[in-house]
Structure 1
Amino acid sequence: MLRISLEQWRMFHAVVEFGGFNQAAQGVFKSQSSVHNAVSKIEDALGVKLFAIEGRKTVLTKEGEMILRRSSYLLEEAKKVEAIGVKLSQGVETQLRIAVDEIFPRALLYNALETVSEQFPLVKIELIESILGGGAEMIENDEVEIAISPNSLGAGFSESLCYIQFGAVASPHHPLHAMDSPLTLEELKSHRQIVVRDSSAINKKNRASDGWLEANQRWTVSHMQSSIDMIVNGLGFAWLPLSLIDTHLNDNRLKRLQLDRNTERTAQLFLTFKDGDRLGPVARCFLGEIRALCLDWPQKT
């Protein structure tokens, strides 16, 4: 039987978080003696001192630092168990929030969402379209339950979902198509490039732009569709997902550029979420559908 309760561990962490016993008592709305008593019981049970007094400060001992790291995992797991219990008691969720990178094939996404809606007609689906690190950031901030993103998740679950093929394209009337020989990188740099910026807030001041070749002229947009529209109208060139522009290529509204090297690029997309046990039946349905659909999607490694 465990000799230390979760409540006692919580008091120990409160002392660390608030910087002292008196501050911790105020922070967790307990008496100072209750906090002292909880920490003393941990020290007696383990046979180690967790805190030392240095001047007016309460600081962790070396043993306390190690215990803090270990017990942090214990409290986090306890929170997850409670969250799972709440989710199970609620049954079918009423809303599903999904972040999907704009390079993901629309047909696969729409088919998966339609299947989910057929099985759970009353569920509200919130779809947030993201670029580069935006989806993973929303998972980290608990803004969505599931993300399809080119960034794998550091703390959570990430699985390779599919590979997206890119091609360098421009309008058929663009001057780049008039070159007699395959285009070099330097020749591309002399023309305007259209790039799409990262939608994550962490890169707000210095956002990455996918596929930028450091062209002398650059127009930066926030959405993939804006980039496609600009290229169709002859305003520049860009690397675009071939799955999103296949009709434009077939209708000769876009034409692939003839390059001397690196004629194709590939981006990997990941299916990410924090904790599978906390996902409800609607989310699990979406995961199953999107995985099945991507199995038949052309893969490239």
Structure 2
Amino acid sequence: MQPYRPKTTIEQWRILQAVVDRGGYAHAAQQLNKSQSSLNHAVAKLQQVLGVQLLEVRGRKACLTDIGEVMLRRSRQLTQTITELEQLAENLNEGWEPHIRMVVEMVFDRTPILTLLQEFEKQSRGSRLIIEDSVLTGTKQHIQEQSADLVITHQLPKGYIGEPIGEYQLELVCHPSHPLAQLERAVTQDELTQHLQVVISDTAPKPDETEGWLRSEQRWTVSHFDEALRLVLGGLGFCWLPPHVSGAAIRNGTLRKLELEGSSHRRGSLYLVLPKGEKAGPCARMLAQILLQGLQQPPGSQHLQPVPVAKVGTGL
């Protein structure tokens, strides 16, 4: 079977688009810096090889036929793809990453970064963003092994620095019918160990179980806070949950917040880290700068400005 050989060229479709967009051959010729006769010939040739009429002249204006409208719409997808492909080759030649990996500790509330990611998408030049959830030792290992381009973490491994971007908080919660919720005082650590604890699994292959919120010998392990919330809402055990996960249930009374003797909640700082340091690529540095600019600015401040890549530093 013979391979299909296109009858038309990208240049012919671009000329057709220019003629339509500029309202005629004369203005299109000025835009493309070509002669009007060459544009007439290109469109005529395009119609000839396709066997359909794309344009018809009405007065002094070239107008699309019904078939032409369909073909023009599809041609824009084609030329846009070619433009993006050529831009990608240029970006890769300049060291622009085809994809970047951002690892995010689960205690971090993602809501504030949604608008920041929208800004990144506008400037990303088509780079793909991979966002991966991580917990405890797993987050530290991504930093130490430089297996991610950006990391949002609440604990910095020795020898690494990060930019502070806020705080996290964990609250001790259970179902209102749970025995711990019936106590009219703060719960002791010993009392906690007598009940089932729902914990989030450490994402490291060999987790350090001396860290984090692992306390009770009786525990069920899940992979995400959402699953932990479902279990606790079902009356199964207690759990340390961040307010962005448990807040609505606490407010409507389907969860009870417990007071722990000596500590009503757990709180700490969150950091943005570029594990690869000076070796971080320009796209990763741009995303880091967008996140820092948005997360560190005071509430109610002005919208983000486009980030010049040349000015993005790696001093995280």
TM-score category by the smaller chain? 0.5 to 0.7
Distance change >3 Å, CA 259–CA 143, structure 1 → 2: closer
Given candidates 154, 168, 172, the residue that maps to 1:168 is 172
Output the amino acid matched with 2:222.
V
Match of 1:212 in 2: 214
Letter in 2 for 1:292: Q
Greater radius of gyration (CA): 2
Residue correspondence of structure 1 range 280-299 to structure 2 within 5 A:
280-295=281-296
Query: What secondary structure sits across from 2:191 in the alignment?
Result: helix
Contact 1:116 1:282 (C-alpha < 8 Å) held by counterparts: no
2:202 maps to what in 1?
198
Structure 1 residue 138 displacement after superposition: 1.9
AA matched with 2:271:
F
CA distance in 1, matches of 2:169, 2:275: 27
Do 2:104 and 2:134's aligned partners in 1 also have CA atoms closer than 8 Å? yes
- Is 2:265 aligned against 1:264? yes
- The answer for the alignment partner of 1:114 in structure 2 is 118
The amino acid of 1:244's aligned partner reads V
For 1:128 and 1:188, locate their aligned partners in 2 and report how far apart those are by CA, in whole Å. 31
Counterpart contact for 1:195–1:209, Cα < 8 Å:
no
**Deviations 1:12-70 (Å, cap 9, x if unpaired)?**
xxxxxxxxxxxxxxxxxxxxxxxxxxxxxxxxxxxxxxxxxxxxxxxxxxxxxxxxxxx
Q: 1:220 to 1:144 in 2, by over 3 A?
A: same
Residues 155-213 of structure 1 deviation map (CA, whole Å, 9 limit, x = unaligned): 5542333221111111222222112333222222221111123212243xx64562123
Distance in 2 separating the partners of 1:119 and 1:236: 45
Letter in 2 for 1:97: R
Which position in structure 2 is the counterpart of 1:245?
A: 246
* One-letter amino acid matched to 1:123: S
Q: Shift in Å at residue 276 of structure 1?
A: 4.1
The answer as to whether partners of 2:151 and 2:275 remain within 8 angstroms in 1 is no
Same amino acid, percent of matched pairs: 26
TM-score normalised over the length of structure 2: 0.59
1:231 equivalent in structure 2: 232
> Over the residues paired in the alignment, what is the CA RMSD in angstroms?
2.6
Matches within 5 A, 1:96-115: 96-115=100-119
CA pair 198-297 structure 1, distance change in 2 beyond 3 A: farther
Aligned residue type for 2:102: I
Aligned 8 A contact 1:148 1:271 in 2: yes
SS for the counterpart of 1:245 is: helix
Asked whether the equivalents of residues 99 and 144 of structure 1 are also in contact (C-alpha less than 8 Å), the reply is: yes
Q: 1:216 to 1:200 in 2, by over 3 A?
A: closer
The answer on whether the counterparts of 1:195 and 1:212 sit within 8 Å (CA) in structure 2 is: yes
Q: Which amino acid aligns with 1:129?
A: D
CA–CA distance in structure 1, aligned partners of residues 95 and 292 of structure 2: 23
Alpha-carbon spacing, 1:291–1:244, altered in 2? closer, same or farther (3 Å) = farther
1:183 aligns with 2:183: no
With a CA cutoff of 8 Å and minimum separation of 6, indicate the structure with the bigger relative contact order: 1
Structure 1 118/246 Cα, relative in aligned 2: closer, same or farther at 3 Å? farther
- Give ranges in structure 2 of 5+ residues lacking alignment: 1-90, 300-316
Secondary structure (helix, strand or coil) at the match of 2:169 reads strand
Instruction: State the one-letter code of the partner of 1:137.
Output: Q
Residues 251 and 218 of structure 1: CA distance in aligned 2, closer, same or farther (over 3 Å): same
Q: Structure 2 vs 1, CA of residues 153 and 178 (structure 1 numbering), >3 Å: closer, same or farther?
A: closer
**Are residues 276 and 260 of structure 1, via their aligned partners in 2, closer, same or farther at CA, if it must alter by over 3 Å?**
closer
Specify whether residues 122 and 88 from structure 1 end up closer, same or farther in structure 2 by C-alpha distance, changes over 3 A only. closer
Paired letter, 1:101: E
Residue among 118, 132, 135 paired with 2:136: 132
CA contact (8 A) 2:135 2:201 kept: yes
